[in-house]
Amino acid sequence: MRSSGQIDQGGAEGVPTGSPAAADPVADPREADFQALIDADQRIEPRDWMPDGYRKTLIRQIAQHAHSEIIGMQPEGNWITRAPSLRRKAILMAKVQDEAGHGLYLYCAAETLGVDRAELIDLLHQGRQKYSSIFNYPTLTWADVGAIGWLVDGAAITNQIPLCRCSFGPYARAMVRVCKEESFHQRQGFESLYTLSHGSPEQHEMAQDAVNRWWWPSIEMLGPPDTDSTHSAQSTAWGIKRFSNDALRQRFVDMVAPQAVVLGLTPPDPELRWNEQRGHYDFGEPDFEELRRVVGGDGPCNRQRAAHHLKAHEDGAWVREASAAYAAKHAATTAAA
């Protein structure tokens, strides 16, 4: 899954608060052509001229989206060695591998904007770029794997489908591929949870408990309420953000509420009910204070996730150095030959 979002209390699509979205101090004459392209729903490509703010906003958003994919490997990978059947183990391994692949395409998309992956990873390690708040929650039982697939990949799809039409070509194209895989993940998660819910009483209880824990954090994944999300006007004008956080949140709830009925599981929201007049589900107020705390670094697993990624990176330093040394020797040999 991996949503791009909610970073820095950011918008549903991960546009950081107080982002460098501010317009350039001196208007560039090329800006009108750029904006005309966007307004005509054309794609901006890496070689095209673009305002500095647009470039910076995208680098940050794409990087944070990539980091989310990569950090998200941790909570789910946590269950690979304990998956209860060989079939589920294969599905989970393939899913976690897909997330690594998503991270890779996204880092590549960011690189087209003139940064490199190593820099972005340093920013992650320094805490200057974030990742989706959702991955700061722990996966405590096997059912969490199903709940993540259903809810977290579901919220990610809700966020990402509009990004398939994002104005920046490489990001939009990466999202098309990613969304296909995310919807596959969501179906697999749903199916896993369905099996548990319709299994033994203990399995059902495990599934319900997982939904109790993942429901609200998934809804919060769509970002802070529109009333707190003041930075999105520029992103909207730039064709990066197409729907407000609250609009996406409603869309997500409308998708998963009826699915919960099929699953035979009860979302932990007494206010959740169909509203005939609105043609949407009503739902309770998410705990945005909690979202703020988790995004701010005080979720259950923020420290653990960061330490894990840093340790893997540092443990791998000698391997990367050896590769570079070998490549240099080899290049020297080839050149001499």
Partner 1 sequence: MTLVVAGAAAVYTLRIADDCLVLSHRLAQWSSWAPALEDDLALTNIALDLLGQARGMYARIAELDGTGRSEDDYAFLRGERAFVNCQLVEHENGDFATTMVRQLLCSTYQLAQWQALTASTDEQVAAVATKAVKETAYHRDLATDWTLRLGDGTDESHRRMEHALAALWPFTAELFESDAVTREVAALGVGPDPGDLRPEWDAYITRVLGDATLPAPEVSWRPTGGRQGLHTEAFGYMLAEMQHVHRSFPGVTW
The entry of partner 1, Fe ion, none near residue 108 (CB within 5 to 8 angstroms by kind) is none
Cβ-based neighbours of 72, under 8 Å, separated by 6 or more: 1, 2, 99, 131, 132, 134, 135, 152
Question: Smallest distance from the beta carbon of 7 to Fe ion, in angstroms?
Answer: 15
The entry of Fe ion, partner 1, none near residue 101 (CB within 5 to 8 angstroms by kind) is partner 1
Question: Smallest distance from the beta carbon of 324 to partner 1, in angstroms?
Answer: 8
Nearer to partner 1 among residue 141 and residue 250 (C-beta)? 141
Listed in order, strand segments (DSSP E) in the chain are 273-275, 280-282
Residue 246 contacts residue 279 (beta carbons within 8 Å): no
Classify 222 as helix, strand or coil. coil
For the window 164-203, what string marks contact with partner 1 as x by the rule CB under 8 A? Answer: ----------------------------x--xx--xx-xx
Question: Smallest distance from the beta carbon of 104 to partner 1, in angstroms?
Answer: 5
Distances (CA, A) of 278 to 242, 256, 259: 21, 17, 19
Site for Fe ion in 76-135 (CB under 5 A): 99, 102
- Sort 32 into a burial class: Cβ within 10 Å, 0-12 / 13-18 / 19+: exposed
Residue 40 binds to partner 1 (criterion: CB under 8 A): no
Residue 125 C-beta-side C-alpha neighbours within 13 Å: 14
Residue 264 binds to partner 1 (criterion: CB under 8 A): no
Question: Smallest distance from the beta carbon of 255 to partner 1, in angstroms?
Answer: 25
Number of residues that bind partner 1 (CB under 8 A): 47
Nearer to partner 1 among residue 30 and residue 329 (C-beta)? 329
Which single residue is written with the structure tokens 């099929």? 262
Nearer to partner 1 among residue 80 and residue 164 (C-beta)? 80
